[in-house]
């Protein structure tokens, strides 16, 4: 029995006081929608009144936008391909992230916690707006299935030759890498309590954080082959790669998110949107690309 959509007393006690009062054809997807009236509060409503898609004129494009931006298409090109406004694309991009629950710290993953025994992690480098404002992306993957457990971007200070220029132009840049790692590993340790082995490359930042959050796990660092950071050759052959799962996944991020392409004129304008994009891609990667 239909209940009043306006939470008037009838919606709690007398549900039979709602009657059908005809229907209409929704313009945006040609669906027939039933209208109702509550005889208690006299208000009318439809079957779609409380839908999370309410008010969307291009509702047919939601999934398409999601698939395209996770397949290396830029937001602007997605707008052209779908024949919709580029602002609509941005809106759908954020809407889908919310709808799929892809906005938490961890990436959505249906892997049962007891299956996650070995993980690998690293930082991937990119920038917002200019190379003088670098961003580090913490990527954590499950070694066996290559599913993404977490992918989170944060600001990091400029390195090498750019240090001086960066400070002069934009001031001292905040370094949030430690903070993000702590938060992410705290969550991961909570959600995946059976982790026995952790692998990463060599960085003085890592051992302490790992010891703090995974006191019983075995931790191993590998040197060299920093495939994820700079250079063109993340998947170049080079013999056995102990961090294969990780490097493979980083390469997939780079291949499927336009703003992370090696040569791209698309850049990140806001770190927050990069994070939304990362979790959207993570969702797509886990549910579609690495489906078993």
The site for Zn ion (CB under 5 A) is made up of 4, 6, 8, 10, 38, 40-41
Q: How far apart are CA 195 and CA 23, in angstroms?
A: 54
Angle between helices 271-284 and 86-99 (to 10 degrees): 60
Rank residues 36 and 206 by Cβ distance to Zn ion and give the closer one.
36
Rank residues 6 and 222 by Cβ distance to Zn ion and give the closer one.
6
Rank residues 41 and 105 by Cβ distance to Zn ion and give the closer one.
41
Shortest spacing between CB 18 and Zn ion, in angstroms = 7
Shortest spacing between CB 13 and Zn ion, in angstroms = 11
Q: How far apart are CA 62 and CA 77, in angstroms?
A: 15
Shortest spacing between CB 47 and Zn ion, in angstroms = 15
Tell which residue, 68, 88, 70, 93, has the closest CA to residue 78.
Answer: 68
Shortest spacing between CB 4 and Zn ion, in angstroms = 3
- Tokens 């999601």 belong to 66
DSSP state of 106: B
Shortest spacing between CB 38 and Zn ion, in angstroms = 3
Tell which residue, 126, 134, 66, 57, has the closest CA to residue 98.
Answer: 66
Rank residues 12 and 272 by Cβ distance to Zn ion and give the closer one.
12
Q: What are phi and psi of 248, to 5 degrees?
A: -60, -45
Rank residues 5 and 84 by Cβ distance to Zn ion and give the closer one.
5
Q: How far apart are CA 261 and CA 164, in angstroms?
A: 26
């Amino acid at each position: 029995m239909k209940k009043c959509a306006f939470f008037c007393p009838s919606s709690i006690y007398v549900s039979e006081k709602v009657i059908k009062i005809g229907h209409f054809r929704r313009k945006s997807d040609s669906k027939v929608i039933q209208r109702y009236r509550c005889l208690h509060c006299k208000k009318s409503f439809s079957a779609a009144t409380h839908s999370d898609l309410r008010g969307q004129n291009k509702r047919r494009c939601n999934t398409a936008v999601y698939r395209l931006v996770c397949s290396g298409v830029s937001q602007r090109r997605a707008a052209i391909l779908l024949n919709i406004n580029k602002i609509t694309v941005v809106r759908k991009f954020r809407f889908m992230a919310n709808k799929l629950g892809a906005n938490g710290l961890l990436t959505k993953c249906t892997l049962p916690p007891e299956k996650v025994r070995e993980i690998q992690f690293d930082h991937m480098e990119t920038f917002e707006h200019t190379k003088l404002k670098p961003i580090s992306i913490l990527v954590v993957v499950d070694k066996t299935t290559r599913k993404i457990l977490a992918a989170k971007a944060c600001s990091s200070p400029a390195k090498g030759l750019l240090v001086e220029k960066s400070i002069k132009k934009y001031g001292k840049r905040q370094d949030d890498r430690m903070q993000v790692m702590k938060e992410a590993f705290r969550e991961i340790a909570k959600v995946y309590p059976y982790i026995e082995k952790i692998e990463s490359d060599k960085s003085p930042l890592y051992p302490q954080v790992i010891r703090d959050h995974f006191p019983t796990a075995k931790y191993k660092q590998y040197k060299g082959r920093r495939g994820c950071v700079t250079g063109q050759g993340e998947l170049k052959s080079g013999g056995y790669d102990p961090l294969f799962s990780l490097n493979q996944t980083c390469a997939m991020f780079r291949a499927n998110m336009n703003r992370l392409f090696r040569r791209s004129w698309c850049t990140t304008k806001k770190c927050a949107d990069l994070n939304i994009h990362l979790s959207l891609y993570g969702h797509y990667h886990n549910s579609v690309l690495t489906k078993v």
